[in-house]
Structure formats: C-alpha cells, structure tokens
Amino acid sequence: MINSLDLTPLVDWSRAQFAMTAMYHWLFVPLTLGITWIIAMMETIYVKTGDPEWKKLTKFWMKLFGINFAIGVATGIIMEFEFGTNWSNYSWFVGDIFGAPLAIEGIMAFFMESTFIAIMFFGWNKVSKKFHLASSWLVAIGANLSALWILVANAWMQNPTGTAFNPETARNEMTSFWDVFLSPVAINKFLHTITSGMVLASIFVIGVSAWFILKKRETRMALRSITIAAVFGLLSSVLLALTGDGSAKQIAAVQPMKLAAMEGLYDGKTEAGLVALGILNGKEKRDAGDVFAVKLEMPNLLSWLAYGDPKAFVAGINDFTKGNPTQGILSIPEKVQRGKIARQTLTDFKNAKAAGNLPRADSLKSHFYDKAFLADNYKYFGYGFSDNVNYYVPNIPLTFYSFHIMVILGFCFMLFFALILFFSARGELPQKKFWLRLALWVIPLAYIASEAGWIVAELGRQPWTIQDLLPTVAAITKLDTGTVMVTFILFAVTFTVLAIAEVNIMVKAINHGPKNEGGTK
C-alpha cells in the first residue's frame, strides 16, 4: 500500500506542472486546428475566382497561423517529455498502449503537416496554384490528424479498452488496435475537440476582422473574412453541441462519477433534472445535503441527455462513495478491497516466482487470465493504492463551474455567429459598432471556454491517470519535490514569456494588416 499522504506534495506539484504545460499548450492548439480550414477555404475561393484580394487574405491569416503554430509545437514537445520525466511509472504501466498513438502522431501526422507547411508558406511562386492549394488542405488535414492520435491516447486513459494486463511484466499490452482507435470515447472526444477549435478560430477571425472595420481599414477584406468565419463558425458550433451531447453520454457510461461532479449531483435520482445555472454551497452544507444556494434546473433533462430516457436513474456522488446495491453500484470501500486483492495477487505471484515456487506462481498467474477475477477484482486494481474515500472524489466545485461556463459560452457563441451572419447578410455590420466591439471581447471568452472544457475532462476524472487502474499517486516519478517545484517555476516563467512574445508578434502582424501580401501568381 502506497502512503498517499507521504507523496501528496510531490503528486500535487507534478500534477500542477503538467496541468500548467497542458493549459499553455492548449492556448495555441485550438487556433491551429480551426484556422487551417478557414485558410484553405479562402485559398480555394482565390484559385476559383482569381481575385488577388482573396490571396492577400489567405496570406494574412496564414501569417497569424504560423506565429501560433510555432509556439504550440514548442509547448507540445515539452509536455510529451514530461511523461518520461515526471510520470515514469505511468509510462511503464501503459507505455505499450499509450506510445502507439503518440508514435503514429509523430511519424504520420506531424511529418505530413510539417512537409506541406513548407510548401504552403514558401511555395507561392514555386509551385502551381492547384498544388499549393492542395498543400494548404493537407496542412489542415495533417494538423487535425495530429490531434486525432493525441486524443485517441487521451480517450484510452479515460476508458481503457482493447488491452490486457501482463502479470509477468506488470504492464498493460494492446490486444486490439481497432478497439483503442475506434472506441466511442475516442471518436466523440476527437470530434468535440476539433469542432471546438473551429469555433475558436472562427471567433478569432471575426474579432480581428471587426477591429479592422472599427479602424476603417481593409473593410472589404474584413467583411469577406467575417462572412467565411461566421458561416464556418455557426456550422461548427452546431456540430460542437451535437458532439458535446455524444461526449456526455459516453461520460455517463464510463465515468459516471465525473458526470455527477459536472452536475453537482450528490444523491442519485430518477427523472434527474439538468442544472442550467447554479451556485454551490460550501463543502459542509453540501455534505449535509444542502448542495445549492441557487439553482435553475430543467426537469428530467439530465436523465434524457445521459441515457436517452427522461425517467432513467442518474447516480450521484454519494451513490459511488457509499454504494447503492439497488442500482448495482459498489461503494468505494468495496472497490478498495477488491483492488487490494488484485494487487496482493500480483505481489504473491512475483514472490512465488522469485522463490522458485513455479506451481504456485502459475496458479496465481492464471487469475489474470480468468474473466471472473478480471471483472471482480482487477477491474478495480487502482483502488488498492489508497483507503481514503475522499481521494477518489474529484474537485466538485471546479468541475461543476468549468462545465457550466463551457456550456453557457458555447450556446452564446452559436447565437453570436447567427447574429453576425444576419447583420453581414443585410450589409449592416459596419454600422453595428456595439457588435463589432463585442466581437473583440468574445475572443478571450472563446479561450476560456476551451480551457474550461479540458479542466472538466481532466480534473473530473481525478485521481485517475488511467480510469480505475492507475491513480496519480502511483503514476509519478519518485523525484525530490523541490526539483519539481524548481522546474515548475522555470516552465511558468518560460511559457509566460513565450505567450507574451506571441501576443506581441501577433498584434504587430495584425497592425501591419494584409497589405503587401499579394503577389503576381
């Protein structure tokens, strides 16, 4: 049994460092994922019409994409190294599975993206229009393929499937690549993530273009950009809502504790309502059953969204901590005992093998190939690391508020796109100063919504690095806490400097505008 209390400072600092790296990285990734499609569409119009203004627009947004892409790559590389430096036990336990999609991402998607980026930026007068256009589309496809493989790996952490535990090596091994690649969690996570990037990129393009209109500069080209981005953003926001619904259903199926945290649901119920707006009480009141100080709830909607049945039972946090035999839900103490059995069986196997007692070793090893043992005990392997019931409950307030901020802003963005498109279609947008100024402020809101989504995804599944199999306390590298603190500070300073530099470079590029971006070809 690992004494989780002894490791708490190290775990907290290791988690904080990885969270900071991931959140900085995610400041750059969504724009990269979404704006490449907008660039490709603009260049397609240029090739079809031959209008040089579309080329100027394409090259302008391409410049902003390039600035953003460079910083995103730097933070992404550091994040992948942290799996080895700070989370070596995690890498050992699941490296055979987690490493596969990361390797594919590096070999196929990243190289594909990087190769055609060179043509996209430097090939304007060196290759034909159609070949250059194809390169721009392939950059968009490559960028999103890079995200695909990362998200497949992340989805497997949320719902481990297509895998088997090897007691000889104490590692998980992939049994079906297609089960990992095509798991419903992976599909929904990928679609939801790339559509969120499309929405953010559309808001970014509209906001920057609105600035040009307010400054009475490049008005015609700004209006063209807004039209493309508003149509693309509105369609993307509808898809985002649909994929969000699919993701919620998957969370209900494989991570019901996360769903309960997202909705602040402590006691499970049938005909569960969806909390549209709410303010949570303090922890003592919540534990006593008085969960909300203020709540606006839509009856039956949570049951319907989660299970497609308005009368379905939705389990709450207390159902998972204390158990609910009527609904077939084990309590956390029961799962802890089963996890201990699985861990002790592995320890006994290792000891018997080391002692040369091969018959006993073979007998113990056979448990890990027995379906009943896997379902009854190994399924809860990760619970065997701590007896603390509260350790297995995520941060409820942060998960709840992050989820609702994301959802509320998502629907506001849909309305924003519709209104901008309406004003644009009527030719009234240049006179709508309020909406143009609002468009500038919507840009940071899009980033907040994007970050909030990942807070829900990652914080909502705590304490698990691998759901039910490996908690964070068992996944970390046994480093000196001071070392992690120092690197946290160094990374925080470095990333902040990079972010400030990127914003400054981006602002200068925007101030310069699309002028002198045209060409003869």
Q: What is the pLDDT of residues 389-409, one digit of tens each?
A: 999 999 999 999 999 999 999
Cβ count within 10 A of residue 511 = 10
pTM exceeding 0.85: yes
Q: How confident is the model at residue 275 (pLDDT cuts 50, 70, 90)?
A: very high
- Three-class SS state of 466: strand
Where b means 16+ CB within 10 Å and e means fewer, 421-457 reads: bebbeeeebbebeebbebbeebbebbbebbbbbbbbb
pLDDT at 520 (0 to 100): 38
Query: Can you give 177-235 as a three-state secondary structure string?
Result: HHHHHCCHHHHHHHHHHHHHHHHHHHHHHHHHHHHHHHCCCCHHHHHHHHHHHHHHHHH
Query: E strands of 388-498, at which residues?
Result: 464-466, 470-471
- Three-class SS state of 281: coil
Q: How confident is the model at residue 109 (pLDDT cuts 50, 70, 90)?
A: low
Task: Name the β-bridge partners of 471.
Answer: 464
Q: What span, in angstroms and rounded, lies between the C-alpha atoms of 333 and 324?
A: 12
pLDDT at 280 (0 to 100): 94
pLDDT at 80 (0 to 100): 80
Cβ count within 10 A of residue 105 = 22
Across the chain, mean pLDDT equals: 91
pLDDT over 70 (residue 1): no
Instruction: Give me the half-sphere count of Cα atoms (radius 13 Å) on the Cβ side of residue 244.
Output: 20
pLDDT over 60 (residue 292): yes
> How do residues 176-190 score in pLDDT, each as one tens digit?
999 999 999 999 999
Q: What is the DSSP string of 405-436?
A: HHHHHHHHHHHHHHHHHHHHHTT-GGG-HHHH
> How do residues 42-74 score in pLDDT, each as one tens digit?
999 999 999 999 999 999 999 999 988 878 877
pLDDT at 5 (0 to 100): 44
Share of the chain above pLDDT 70, in %: 97
* Burial classification of residue 125, based on how many CB atoms lie within 10 Å of its CB (0-12 exposed, 13-18 middle, 19 or more buried): exposed
Question: What's the chain's length in residues?
Answer: 521
pLDDT over 70 (residue 4): no
- Report CA 43 to chain centroid distance, whole Å: 29
Higher pLDDT, 81 or 17: 17
Q: How confident is the model at residue 519 (pLDDT cuts 50, 70, 90)?
A: very low
Q: Which of 67, 65, 413 is nearest to 232 (CA)?
A: 413
